[in-house]
Amino acid sequence: MLDEKVAALINTQINKELYSAYLYLEFANRFADAGLNGFANWYTIQAQEERDHAMLFLKYLQNNDGKVTLGAIDAPVTDAQSHLDILKAGLKHEEYVTSLINAIYDAAHSVKDYRSMQFLDWFVKEQGEEEMNANDLIKKWELFGSDARGLYMLNQELAARVYTAPSLVLD
């Protein structure tokens, strides 16, 4: 049986992951509006990943007799003015999500909930990858964003990204 605090944090995380999907759809729309369909594709896939993360947390609660409580998902908010600002907001958001995952992990550790810690290990690794990818996008924009040919090639690279569902298996 899940600890109440751990279950509550996981419930909150479901909402945060769905909010992340909304935020990334907002980013995708902003890039699509600018004609940067590769960047739009990249963020659309990010949105799909976040939705799947929410579903993994939801299924984990269900599989461990936790009660799922879905709340309202806030509209995405960003004050990003430029494309680089959007990319930086994406990195900042991933760092925030990392802090949320770490808080759940801390709560599970404090009650010796090893099953939840093992489940969360995948998300800890995933967040490291998410932060690295977001940081790489910023670096690439800073290198190529002011050069039309470089930006075109970067946009083409991002357009080639395809969605791969998470391989995490829940019991």
Q: What percent of the chain has pLDDT over 90?
A: 91
pLDDT computed for residue 21 by the predictor: 98
pLDDT computed for residue 151 by the predictor: 92
pLDDT computed for residue 120 by the predictor: 98
Torsion angle of the four alpha carbons 136, 82, 31, 137, in this order, in degrees rounded to the nearest 10? 0
pLDDT computed for residue 2 by the predictor: 93
Contacts 24+ apart (CB under 8 A), 121-128: 122/166, 122/168, 123/53, 126/53, 126/166, 127/94, 127/97, 127/98, 127/101, 128/98
Residue pair 104/116 in contact (Cβ under 8 Å)? The answer is yes
Task: Report pLDDT digits (tens) over 74-112.
Answer: 999 888 999 999 999 999 999 999 999 999 999 999 999
- Domains in the chain, please, with CATH? 4-67+83-159 (1.20.1260.10)
Task: Report pLDDT digits (tens) over 7-28.
Answer: 999 999 999 999 999 999 999 9
**Residue the block writes with tokens 């991933």:** 94
